Amino acid sequence: MIELTENNGAVMEQFVSETQCFCLDCDGVIWKGSEVLPHVKETLEGLRKLNKRLFFITNNSSNSRKGYLKKFQSLDLHVDVSEILTSSYAAAVYAKEHAIKKAYVIGGDGIKEELELIGVEACGFEEHLHKTFKEEEFLHEWEEFTKKYPVESIGAVIVGYDNRFNNFKLAMAHQILRRNPQCLFMATNTDATLPYKNNLFFPGGGCFVAALSTAIGRKPDIVAGKPSTLLLDTALHLLYEECKDKVTPENRHVAVCMVGDRLETDIVLGNKTGVKSVCVLTGVATREHLNEIIEEAKQDESKKLLNPQYVLPQLALLRNVVLK
């Protein structure tokens, strides 16, 4: 593990100079709750001046990329929508690439918006928002629904964080997967909880995924969010097209880094995707936690993926180099 600190100036300079693209987790890296971390704003501006490509990567599927942009704007961070990668967007891209025309969504408006932007219909989305489940009415509801959307035409059930989750939607999604074995079961993310302000945590997208998994007796076929590689793969494909001369599949282990505060998601994602994994200490991971993992990984091969290649105590330390 390489330290990226003030005392290690030459190493940090080399790190910044060889890295063309910074993939940044948001919560715990850019902000905490509703506050931007100190000096992050000028660090991002400095990276931009050096022509570094930035991606802001989030598992949160409640918002579309456009919706997420507002969060950045509200924090006075200047970001382009093309720099934002949400799990809702990655799921929509995946659906599109797999010729899916119709999907059933358990999730927020973010998923629906991304699907529609890309040309995938979110069947019954509005109609089912406030439905009440009644056993004796379900067969009728099902017949009405499948008259409009034949079950074999529904290519995916996509599940993410859904603050309006109800049993009607769960029963519908279950019935679709049961009656159409070709239908993909996709999760935008499997996060157990959703951090909210005031130190509140709410049940996360993973809870709704677990409910449907239990009913249908199988895990999701595809998970878009971290630690699945789909989000970062989406970023890499964009990079290979956009910056052909700078980023290639062959040099991604040098030219691209994934910066995050959670070993189990961000760091595993970076390591699995073959880019540089960078752990900050401004969020979940602590120095003690890191030291433990390093020790455990020596004994236990399965922990190796949790091991970041770099530790950068705070993202803002990069400004020593980028603002020079």
Binding site for a second copy (CB under 8 A): 132-135, 138-139, 162-167, 170-171, 174, 178, 192-193, 196, 198, 200-204, 206-215, 217
Q: What one-character DSSP code corresponds to residue 134?
A: -
Q: State the minimum distance, in angstroms, from the CB of residue 178 to a second copy.
A: 7
Known catalytic residue: 109? no
Residues annotated within a binding site for substrate: 226
Classified as helix, coil or strand, 92 is: helix
- Which tokens sit at 143? 């017949």
Nearer to a second copy, 46 or 67 (CB): 67
Nearer to a second copy, 115 or 207 (CB): 207
Q: State the minimum distance, in angstroms, from the CB of residue 187 to a second copy.
A: 12
Nearer to a second copy, 118 or 215 (CB): 215
Q: The dihedral of CA 15, 16, 22, 26: what is its sign?
A: positive
> Considering 25, 162, 191, 266, which one is annotated as catalytic?
25
- Which tokens sit at 187? 């999760």
- Which tokens sit at 18? 């060889």
Nearer to a second copy, 98 or 134 (CB): 134
Nearer to a second copy, 202 or 240 (CB): 202
In 3D space, the residue among 299, 294, 267, 264 whose CA is nearest the CA of residue 280 turns out to be: 267
User: What secondary structure does DSSP assign to 247-263, as a single string?
Assistant: --TTTHHHHEEEEES-I
Q: State the minimum distance, in angstroms, from the CB of residue 175 to a second copy.
A: 8
Classified as helix, coil or strand, 196 is: coil
CB atoms within 10 A of CB 129: 12
Known catalytic residue: 25? yes
Q: State the minimum distance, in angstroms, from the CB of residue 67 to a second copy.
A: 14
Residues with Cβ within 8 Å of residue 39, at least 6 apart in sequence: 316, 319
In 3D space, the residue among 233, 241, 246 whose CA is nearest the CA of residue 275 turns out to be: 233
CA–CA gap between residue 98 and residue 155 (Å, rounded): 9
CA–CA gap between residue 30 and residue 52 (Å, rounded): 16
For residues 43 and 37, the answer to whether their CB atoms sit within 8 Å is no
Q: State the minimum distance, in angstroms, from the CB of residue 59 to a second copy.
A: 15
Q: What one-character DSSP code corresponds to residue 157?
A: E
Residue with tokens 């979110």: 122
Active site residues: 25, 27
